[in-house]
Amino acid sequence: EPEVTQTPSHQVTQMGQEVILRCVPISNHLYFYWYRQILGQKVEFLVSFYNNEISEKSEIFDDQFSVERPDGSNFTLKIRSTKLEDSAMYFCASSAPSGLDTEAFFGQGTRLTVV
């Protein structure tokens, strides 16, 4: 079974520092997503990415966030200047092209702790 992998599994950073969360999506998938889940809260959509550009972003995804697919395999989420409230579990996902067997795969998540 193919899988989406995320690294690191846990990252601790100081407030104001930049962090990059990494994801390796399924190789033939075309759509990529980032979600986050603040502890004890629901899973929130951040951004979707297709054809090397952002398809949609939520109001959470402000100027301190950016995404990139730098080398055709990795999909990264950068937070420029982290705040305490950015502490959350961040999930990456990818989905297959449209068709009968559309499915989405999620990574195991990166737990970001901002101190």
Partner 1 sequence: AQSVTQLDSHVSVSEGTPVLLRCNYSSSYSPSLFWYVQHPNKGLQLLLKYTSAATLVKGINGFEAEFKKSETSFHLTKPSAHMSDAAEYFCVVLPSGGYQKVTFGTGTKLQVIP
Under the rule (CB under 8 A), what is the footprint of partner 1? 31, 33, 35, 42-43, 45, 48, 50, 55-56, 89, 91, 93, 95, 98-109
Nearer to partner 1 among residue 15 and residue 54 (C-beta): 54
Measured CA angle at 93 (ends 89, 98), to 5 deg = 155
Burial bucket for residue 22 (CB in 10 Å: 0-12, 13-18, 19+): middle
Nearer to partner 1 among residue 3 and residue 18 (C-beta): 3
Burial bucket for residue 108 (CB in 10 Å: 0-12, 13-18, 19+): middle
Q: Distance between CA atoms of 110 and 89, rounded to whole angstroms?
A: 5
Nearer to partner 1 among residue 73 and residue 102 (C-beta): 102
Rg of the chain over Cα atoms, rounded to whole angstroms, equals: 14
Nearer to partner 1 among residue 38 and residue 81 (C-beta): 38
DSSP conformation class of 59: T
